[in-house]
Amino acid sequence: MPDWTYHPLRGAAASLVGTRRSQRTALRLLAAIGSRPVGARLIARGFGHRHPPERLAGEIAGVPVAVRLGMSVPPVLARETLRAMAPIGAGVVEVGPVAAADVETVRAAAAGRSIPLVVRTDDPEVEAALGAHVDGFTSGAEPHVLRVSDASVGAAADALDDPKAVVLARPALLVAAGPGWFARVTEAATPTAPAPRLRDVGRDPRRWPAWVWALLVGLGMIGAGLGAAVITLGPVLLWYDRDYLGMTLDELHAANHHLVHFLQHDRITMAGTMVSIGALYTGLAVGGIRRGRAWAREAYLISGAIGFPTLFYFLATGFVEPLHTATTIVLFPMFVAAVLRAPHTPRWRRMPEGPERERRRALVGQLLLILTGAGLFAGGTVISVVGLTGVFVPSDLVFLGADTQALEAVNPRLVPFVAHDRAGFGGALMSAAAAITLLSAWGWGRGEAWVFWSLATAAAFGFLPAVVVHGAIHYTDFLHLAPVYLGILLTALGLYLARPYLCAKEADV
């Protein structure tokens, strides 16, 4: 479990099953998932996409390790630790002290390991018994091996500046700091350089870096969303809408005096979601991809890979919207350029650690934002399915005062027209939700104010237009709007709790 579930939920878990048992359960859960290749990859990604720099590679007791960072545990914890540590960022596990009575325990734990194992012992017989089963031996007197119980992230990162140093966390440290400690130390120990500025980008588009293309996609989405809002608040229907329906706005209003308002409510909500996506992409481009954050590039890729294919919803609805298609044709090549360009080298600066209480509060906020993003993704999926099948939910028909058959009797193309808007909104919401979830899961860090403002801006444009337009047209069914109200509550509370941490400055220590 990542820190954003470990710390917020550990108190409740300890109250239910006891402190010691809850700790062992967490370790066993990580071990059970991490021992399988798919599970190990999921955990590694959930912990923020570890990409340790080459300078952190080295050796301990002659054993090469990819990261000079690991765990030192007693034999009783060896099996679970060996299976749980690699996915969360450790490079080596030391088991010790090991006596003759522990040989079988260590031998069984070593089978099928995916991380180097060294044994701490002074007994030659133990070395002889385990020599064929482990990778190396330590004595406990190595000057460059630091076994720590309370080292801060900064202290551990500073220790790793020595290319011979190996930092081994004892169980007490991980219990207190949380399993995300390894990823945080790795990031803090990553050498960086100043981030490039826009003025450093040349005029030749062929040489533009990935973050500039990602920024253009974000700005394009913002412009498209604002344009859609202007059209919806003005003419509502453009020429191709009228041509497809064979009806004017006045004729729609005459057929059902709620119908135009219903179209406006769908399209304003869609426009706000497009602006939200643009705000998230802009933040990922400038705050993440520009600084070489590998996870930011992947969050951008996953969100876009969900959003762009929803253009093909027209295959189910039968209505091809020219502006939607044109926007996709213009932005998709930029999206591809941002994804295919070589990733940037790390270009962030290390932020001093602040109060642990501040971080713990921010982790609760992080959990709330991730839950919000997951809920929005589920909502977008449902809306897409409804838009491509039944089109209307019961509260829609109550607001319209008509059933689907009555609307089809007005115009057989009316329901597919609404379905296009409804399904398109569902796809856009899924794309935005993916970006919100991944940005919240991977981007939480002290001083990362851009994460706060990206999420706050996305929330403002995503939630507020939906609430305002529903109120303006008097579509105020509580159950229909309950997910929006819950999303606003969770987002506001999460950002409130996380703001001191995300928006901290170097002086705030």
Region 323-338: mean pLDDT is 93
**CA-to-CA distance for 102 and 109, rounded, in angstroms?**
11
Q: Which residues contact 503 (CB under 8 A, 6 or more apart)?
A: 447, 449, 452
For the chain, what percent of residues have pLDDT higher than 70?
98
CA angle 453, 439, 283 (to 5 degrees): 45
The runs of H, that is alpha helices, within 246-321 are: 249-255, 259-283, 294-307, 314-317
Q: What are the structure tokens assigned to 170, written together?
A: 């004892």
User: What pLDDT band is residue 240 in, cutting at 50, 70 and 90?
Assistant: very high
491 or 39, greater pLDDT:
491
User: What pLDDT band is residue 152 in, cutting at 50, 70 and 90?
Assistant: confident
Q: Quick one: pLDDT at residue 43?
A: 79
Dihedral of the alpha carbons of 435, 384, 463, 305, in degrees to the nearest 10: 20
For residue 22, pLDDT over 90 is answered with: no
For residue 51, pLDDT over 70 is answered with: yes
Q: Quick one: pLDDT at residue 72?
A: 95
The runs of H, that is alpha helices, within 56-112 are: 78-84, 103-110
The runs of H, that is alpha helices, within 70-152 are: 78-84, 103-110, 124-130
Q: What are the structure tokens assigned to 219, written together?
A: 């700005």
**CA-to-CA distance for 302 and 280, rounded, in angstroms?**
13
CA-closest candidate to residue 278, choices 229, 218, 213: 218
User: What pLDDT band is residue 507 in, cutting at 50, 70 and 90?
Assistant: low
**CA-to-CA distance for 296 and 283, rounded, in angstroms?**
9
Cβ pair 435, 283 in contact under 8 A: no
What phi and psi values does residue 166 have, to the nearest 5 degrees?
Answer: -125, 125
317 or 446, greater pLDDT:
446
**CA-to-CA distance for 322 and 316, rounded, in angstroms?**
16
Region 447-468: mean pLDDT is 96
Region 358-367: mean pLDDT is 95
Cβ pair 88, 43 in contact under 8 A: yes
Per residue in 93-131, pLDDT (tens digit) is 999 999 999 999 999 999 988 899 999 999 999 999 999
Average pLDDT, the chain: 91
CA-to-CA separations, 194 to 158, 177, 191, 355, 498, in angstroms, rounded = 20, 29, 11, 26, 26
Q: Quick one: pLDDT at residue 49?
A: 63
Region 198-212: mean pLDDT is 87
Per residue in 54-90, pLDDT (tens digit) is 899 999 999 999 999 999 999 999 999 998 888 888 9
CA-closest candidate to residue 355, choices 183, 179, 182, 509: 509
Q: Quick one: pLDDT at residue 508?
A: 59
CA-closest candidate to residue 274, choices 474, 466, 496, 443: 466
CA-to-CA separations, 174 to 78, 190, 282, in angstroms, rounded = 15, 21, 35
User: What pLDDT band is residue 50 in, cutting at 50, 70 and 90?
Assistant: low
Per residue in 179-188, pLDDT (tens digit) is 889 989 998 8
**CA-to-CA distance for 412 and 397, rounded, in angstroms?**
17
Would the pTM of this model clear 0.85, i.e. be above it?
yes
For residue 506, pLDDT over 80 is answered with: no
Per residue in 284-321, pLDDT (tens digit) is 999 999 999 989 999 999 999 999 998 888 878 888 88
Residue 171's Cβ-side half-sphere holds a number of Cα atoms within 13 Å equal to 17
User: What pLDDT band is residue 227 in, cutting at 50, 70 and 90?
Assistant: very high
